[in-house]
Amino acid sequence: MTQNDDTHCEGALAALDLEFADPALLELALAHPSYSHEREAGRGNERLEFLGDAVLDLVVAQALYEAHPDWDEGDLTRTRAALVNQRTLAERARELELGRVVKLGRTEMRSGGADKDSILANCFEAIVGAIYLDAGLARAEAFVRRAYGAALASGGELGARDEKTAFQEWAHAQHRETPSYRTVADSGVEDDAKRFRVEVALGGEIWGRGAGRSKRGAERAAAADALQRRATADSPARARVERERAG
C-alpha cells in the first residue's frame, strides 16, 4: 500500500471500529471498481462483494433460524430477503458512515456515488467478505450482528411487510381502523400446509380468510384475500355488483 492508502486504511479502521491482521483486505473492500479502473488496479471490491454476499446470507439465515423457531421456510426466506436487499444493506452502510471511507473514481464521486444505495450495499458486503477472509466466520458474524442490532431478532416486521402491511395501510387510510386477526382453527398437524385458518376483520366485519402452515402465513393469506375484496370495494361499479349479488 502507498502512504495515502495507509492513512486511509487507518481512518477506515478507526471509523468502523475494526481490526485487520491484513489491512490490505479492508482497502480492497473499500475500493469501488471505478476507483480501481482509473488506477488500472483490477476490478476493485467485486470479488469480496461476491464472497460477502454468501457469508451475509448464512449469518442472517442462522440468526433468523435461531430467533424464530416457530417460523416456516417461507417466513424465513421472505425475512432474509428483506434483511439483505440493497435498500436494507445501504441503510446499514449509512449507519456505519461507509460513504466517508469508500474509495470512488472521479466520475462516481462527482455524481454522488458515496450516497448511492448500490455502491453502499456492495461496499458493506465486501467488508463482510474481507472480515471473513481476515479473521474467519465468527468475526464476520459478530460484525453483521453488531451492524444489524435488534433487526435480526425483530426481522419479522420486515419480512411480513407485504399483504398484511398493504391491507393495514389501506384500512388506516380509508376506515381509520386497524385490522384484527383471529385464528379460527388449528389442525395440530405440524406438516399440514393449511394447519392454521385465520380470519381478518375490520370494524367487526370479516374481510378475508386464509390458511397456512404457520399463523403468520395464514394471516398473510387472509390479508391477501382481504385485498381482493378491497379492490372490489374501491370500484363503485364492482361494489354495486357485489351488493346485488349479496341481496
Q: Compute φ and ψ for 183, nearest 5 degrees.
A: -80, 120
Q: State whether residue 197 is helix, strand or coil.
A: strand
Residues 212, 202 contacting (CB under 8 angstroms): no
**What's the burial of 122, exposed, middle or buried (CB within 10 Å: 0-12/13-18/19+)?**
buried
Q: Strands 205-212 and 180-186, how do they pair?
A: unpaired
How many beta carbons lie within 10 A of that of residue 79, not counting itself?
A: 27
E strands in the chain: 180-186, 196-202, 205-212
Reply yes or no on whether 5 is catalytic. Answer: no
Angle at 89 between CA 84 and CA 90, to 5 degrees: 155
d(CA 121, CA 98): 10
Q: Which of 217, 193, 186, 211 is nearest to 75 (CA)?
A: 217
Residue among 27, 75, 108, 125 flagged as catalytic: 125
Give every CB contact of residue 184 below 8 A, 6+ residues apart in sequence.
197, 198, 199
Catalytic residue among 53, 75, 108, 134: 53
Instruction: Give the position of cell 495515502.
Output: 4
Q: Answer positive or negative: Cα dihedral of 126, 128, 133, 134.
A: positive
Single-letter amino acid, residue 200: V
Active site residue 53: yes
Q: Which of the residues are catalytic?
A: 53, 125
